[in-house]
Amino acid sequence: MHVIAIYPGTFDPMTVGHLDVAARASRMFDEIIVGVAASTKKNPFFSLEERVELAREITSPLPNVSVQPFNGLLMRFVKSVGGTVVVRGLRAISDFDYEVQIAGVNRHLDASVETMFIAAAQDYTFLSSSIVREIARHGGDYSDFVHPVVVDAFDKKYAAE
């Protein structure tokens, strides 16, 4: 059986914490599709195309990981690509409530798809895309938290402003 797992998120932008989850998941499943959600409600800093392109560059060393954008219901996207597992990362108790709620709803929508949680690595439990965006906005050094292509992307964005 060829198991396809979907790792969905906004990835605005992808951090080393996200990459760690994708890499660990890639050792457990045959194929991982990183699903970059349009997340228009969140009003992302990077466009959907930019977030997809960054995620593709960052995950390129992982041979069984690919990246696709999606819009709307996650479960519809999972079905459309033949996925049977949804992977989510868990950092702290604060993630838990929301994640369990979403997992429950998704299970209600389609009980044949399992949600699997990967505990954040100790070093990344405090790390989020919003913290990276905040440091970047104030001109601080966030280079330990992201791949160098993300630093370039922020530089380009701010230079264009």
β-strand pairing of 85-90 with 31-37: unpaired
Task: Please report how close the Cβ of residue 161 comes to ligand ADP at its closest, in angstroms.
Answer: 23
Among 24, 56, 79, 91, binds ligand ADP (CB under 6 A): 91
Task: Please report how close the Cβ of residue 11 comes to ligand ADP at its closest, in angstroms.
Answer: 5
Q: What DSSP assignment string belongs to the chain?
A: ---EEEEEE--TT--HHHHHHHHHHHTTSSEEEEEEE--GGG--SS-HHHHHHHHHHHHTT-TTEEEEEE-S-HHHHHHHTT--EEEEEE-SHHHHHHHHHHHHHHHHH-TTSEEEEEEPPGGGTT--HHHHHHHHHTT---TTTS-HHHHHHHHHHHHH-
Which of the stretches 26-34, 61-69, 89-97, 148-156 binds ligand ADP when contact is defined by CB under 6 A? 89-97
Among 6, 17, 25, 75, binds ligand ADP (CB under 6 A): 17
Nearer Cβ to ligand ADP, position 141 or 161?
141
**Binders of ligand ADP among 41-80, rule CB under 6 A?**
none
> Residue holding tokens 């970059």?
36
Lookup: tokens for 18 = 């996200």
Q: What phi and psi values does residue 5 have, to the nearest 5 degrees? A: -110, 140
Among 19, 78, 88, 106, binds ligand ADP (CB under 6 A): 88
Which of the stretches 52-60, 64-72, 85-93, 147-155 binds ligand ADP when contact is defined by CB under 6 A? 85-93
Enumerate the active-site residues: 18, 42, 91, 129
**Contact status: 35 vs ligand ADP (CB under 6 A):** no
Nearer Cβ to ligand ADP, position 128 or 161?
128
Binding residues for ligand ADP, rule: CB under 6 A, are 9-11, 15, 17-18, 21, 39, 88-89, 91, 95, 120, 124, 127-129
